Structure formats: C-alpha cells, structure tokens
Amino acid sequence: MTLTADQPTSDTSTSGEAAVHVSGLWKIFGPKADAIMKSDDAQLSRKDLQEKTGHVVGIRDVSFDVAPGEVFVVMGLSGSGKSTLVRLLTRLIEPTAGVVKLYGEDITAMGDKALLDTRRRRVSMVFQHFGLLPHRKVIDNIAFGLEVRGEAKGGRRNRAQEMVDLVGLSGYENNFPDQLSGGMQQRVGLARALASDPDILMFDEPFSALDPLIRRDMQNEVIRLHHEVGKTMVFITHDLAEALKLGDRILIMRDGEIIQIGTPDEVVAAPADEYVRDFVSDVPKSHVLTLKWVMRAEQPGEVDASSPVLQAGQIVRDAARVVIDHHGPCRVVDGDKVVGVVDEEDILRVVVAEEGLQ
C-alpha cells in the first residue's frame, strides 16, 4: 500500500506525537490574501481590515495540539471562524499561512495526490447538513469513501454493512437518505465517516440541525462510539452544553482568534475573559465544576481520619450528598495527598449561587 511507503514514520509517531498539531494558522478571505498576510495590515482588527481592504480574517494566528484519542471541542458563536478552522485542517479551505500536521504529516506542504490520500484514509468529516448523496442508497452512501479510493465492491459492501450495524441502522441499508429522519441521516453521515477507518474524525456542528431529544441521543452515540473505536475527534459546536458534555478539552474562539483552551471545568471555573464568562454564566456549575475548584485550605484540627474522603476531580453535584450528610468538613484528596477540605457551605455556595442567577 502506498500509505506505508509514503509515510514510513506514521506508525511509530502515533503514540508520541500530537494527533493534530496546528501552529500559526491564518486564513484571510479575499483575492489579495497573500499580500495582506505579508504586510502590516494583517495586524489590524477584523473590522478595520475589512473596511480598509475588503478582506475578511477567518482565522488569526491559531495554534494548538490535540492528543491522540482526545475529544477536542472547538466552540464559538456563528462567524467566529470555527467551521473555517476545521476545514483548514484538511485543506478543504486553503490556509493563508501556518502549519497543520496530522500525526506528524505536514498537511500544508502536501501535493494534491498525498492530500487526496490523506482525506481518503486518515481523516473523515461529519457535516451539519449531512452532505449525503440523495441518489444513492444508505449502504452506498456509507461505502462512498471506500468506493472513491477504489476498493472492490464486495469488500466495501461488507465494511459498510458493519458500519450500518455499528451506528444502529440495520434494516435501512436499502433506503434512500430522504426517506430517513434527520437523526438517522446523521447516523449515515457518521457511518460514512467511520467506514474508511480514519485516524481522526472531524465533526462540523453535526447535531445543530437536529431536534433536542435526538441531539442528546446522538451525543450519547458519539460518546459510545468514542469508547468503542477510540478515535481522535475534533468536534465543532456552538452549543456550550454539548461542548462540556463531549469535550476532553475545549477551545473557545471569537473573531477567528483563540480566547481560551481548557478542560470543561477550567473553562467554567476560570473564564479567560468577559466573553467566556458571559458564555458560561448560564451553565449549572455544580454539574461541571470539580471539588478542586470549590475546596478551601484545611484549618488545623478541622478534619480527622474519620472524615469522608473525596477525589479532587469529582464533580460537585456528585459529591454533594456525601458532604451534606456528613454535616462537617470532608477531606479532598488528589491521589493520596490531602489537598483541601469542603463542607456544606462550600457546596451550597455553588448550588445557591446558581439558583440566585436563575
């Protein structure tokens, strides 16, 4: 296979290297993007640049790494550049400047052939509006990626059938997409993405077009699939709840720039600025924050060996029952070491503060 011949290092690199490495990535939209990139105009704000040159900054100097197996969520309001960002990662949109590496391979320097090969084998995408082919049956939609890379009909049918079963569409293989509900169509999209057995899955607001109940369903499906197949996932959303639910880490964008990167509890507990604070203000904090964020320093004699022990990484809501039943300070440990204490009051402060807000 050409894959191993072209990229001899890919197998060894998987463990050590970042699944996705992005550094200094820029995208300016407009005919003279390259010239502006080199000039000082690039430093102007989005609005000023547009007024001066008619060009729009899609992505401004973005750098981050995604670890293998991680679920990395990119979040922002519409127009923040998140959809552009995910397209830059596979060069569906050409970057203006910067480097993108997928498992060590420099996407930005690839020739057309290598790029096609990467898209065929290493990365798959799931789209907001599904992007299914209405003239093909479900099974042929799922097998499309395999067909494009030239696999024989029998092999790709088998593989596609496995995917049908994996996403729970058994019995619908021979329907056409428009005969299925939105949620089921997105399962087809998911199956198509999984069929080529990629290293990385990218989701561009995959569930925004779905009903709330089905959306919750599909989120659970993604979590389940992540458990089962363990792919690296880059997930775009504008829904904070979704980001907090799915993400190992969250990147928050505004106007094409990174505002904050952090774990869900970091983002909620320590917002980087007013924008993020505003964003997370409605989040039920007790559902996201861990004890680490609410504990206080231990005062001498406050706790003893009989006090309950709680993990610092435990979510406040889950720890609440224990703390409240105990009627006194509890020990918070990180590993073996006691790092602080929490009592009823600390817990209630989180819960009540929220009540006050609502």
Q: What is the dihedral of CA 265, 71, 10, 62, to 10 degrees?
A: -70
Q: Where are the alpha helices (DSSP H) in 136-290?
A: 138-142, 144-148, 153-166, 182-195, 212-229, 240-246, 264-269, 274-280, 285-288
Q: Tell me, rounded to whole angstroms, the distance of Cα 177 from its chain centroid.
A: 26
Does position 39 interact with other proteins (CB under 8 A)? The reply is no
Q: Which of 224, 277, 321, 349 binds other proteins (CB under 8 A)?
A: 224
Q: Is 119 in the site for other proteins (CB under 8 A)?
A: yes
Q: 84, 96, 128, 260: which one contacts other proteins (CB under 8 A)?
A: 128
CB of 150 to other proteins, least distance (A): 10
Q: Is 232 in the site for other proteins (CB under 8 A)?
A: no
Half-sphere exposure of 140 (CA within 13 A, CB side): 9
Written as six digits, the tokens of 352 are 């009540």
Indicate which single residue of 35, 97, 110, 214 sits in contact with other proteins (rule: CB under 8 A): 214
Binders of other proteins in range 320-349 (CB under 8 A): none
177 vs 256 by CB, closer to other proteins: 177
Give 129 or 296: the residue with its C-beta nearer to other proteins: 129
**Of 240, 206, 200, 204, whose CA–CA distance to 221 is shortest?**
206
List of residues 6+ apart from 46 with CB closer than 8 A: 56, 57, 60, 255, 256
Indicate the residue among 134 and 154 with the shorter CB distance to other proteins: 134
Minimum distance from CB of 87 to other proteins (Å)? 8
Site residue total, other proteins (CB under 8 A): 55
Residue 49 sits at φ, ψ, to 5 deg, of -65, -40
Cβ nearer to other proteins, comparing 221 with 265: 221
CB of 7 to other proteins, least distance (A): 15
Structure token digits, residue 9: 């290092």
Cβ closest to other proteins, residue 129 vs residue 157? 129
Beta-carbon contacts of 146 under 8 Å, excluding residues fewer than 6 positions away, are 155, 156, 159, 160, 195, 196
β-pairing, 249-254 vs 257-262, is antiparallel
Chain positions 153 to 192 lying near other proteins, rule: CB under 8 A, are 165-171, 175, 179-181, 183-184, 187, 189, 192
Q: Which of residues 65-94 bind other proteins (CB under 8 A)?
A: 87, 90, 92
- Of residues 193 through 212, those in contact with other proteins by CB under 8 A are 196, 211
Rule CB under 8 A: say whether 125 interacts with other proteins: yes
The per-residue b/e assignment along 53-74, b for 16 or more CB within 10 angstroms, e otherwise, is bebbbbbbbbebbbebebbbbb
Q: Which residues bind other proteins (CB under 8 A)?
A: 87, 90, 92, 115-121, 123-125, 127-135, 144-145, 147-149, 165-171, 175, 179-181, 183-184, 187, 189, 192, 196, 211, 213-214, 216-217, 220-221, 223-224, 227-228
